[in-house]
Amino acid sequence: MQEEVESRTVALTISTAKLTGRLFRAAIAKYLDYRKHKQQEQPAVPHGKQTVRQLIGQNQGVSTIESNDPHIKNFERIARKYGVDYAIKKVRTEDKPKYVIFFKARDTDALTQAFTEYTRKSAEREKKPSVLQKLHDLGTKMQNKVLERTKTKQRSAER
């Protein structure tokens, strides 16, 4: 309990004959500058999407999963949702590109949950047709209707 109180309090000592507002403001500015430099000295541990080198450099063990799905951006969105630290490497093959997903070994449970959601969503995406396919089908239907209408107009004009 005492340690929590000490970590939340700040002791600021100023030796002066008269404490003015300007002097107090300057002391607070120096303290905030000190805190800013102290935070910059500590290297920030990256989270979320990283490079493979950053992920391995954290010395927490790395595991991999392979995927052939070209819509890998959808996985990135889900992995951010679950807070998984990961790196994606694209491996070019003769047929289709293959993606290797590296992740921390301690994130295994979160990654399996994220990967199951990703596979469920990709299966749903395959079931329903794309918007471009719907537009193409609708365009061909409309074109057929326009041709039928012009044929009827020509026939009525001939009679």
CB 115 within 8 A of CB 144: no
Question: Which residue in this structure is represented by tokens 């994606």?
Answer: 88
> For residue range 11-62, what is the model confidence (pLDDT) as tens digits?
777 788 888 889 889 989 998 998 888 877 766 677 778 888 888 888 777 8
Report if residue 102 sits inside a domain.
Answer: yes
Phi first, then psi: what are they for 99, rounded to 5°?
-110, 130
Q: What pLDDT is recorded for position 150?
A: 63
Q: What pLDDT is recorded for position 25?
A: 92
Report if residue 31 sits inside a domain.
Answer: yes
Residue 35 makes CB contacts below 8 A (sequence gap 6+) with none
Can you give the residue range of the structural domain that contains 70?
A: 52-128
Q: Could you tell me if 87 and 118 lie in one domain?
A: yes
Q: Could you tell me if 96 and 56 lie in one domain?
A: yes
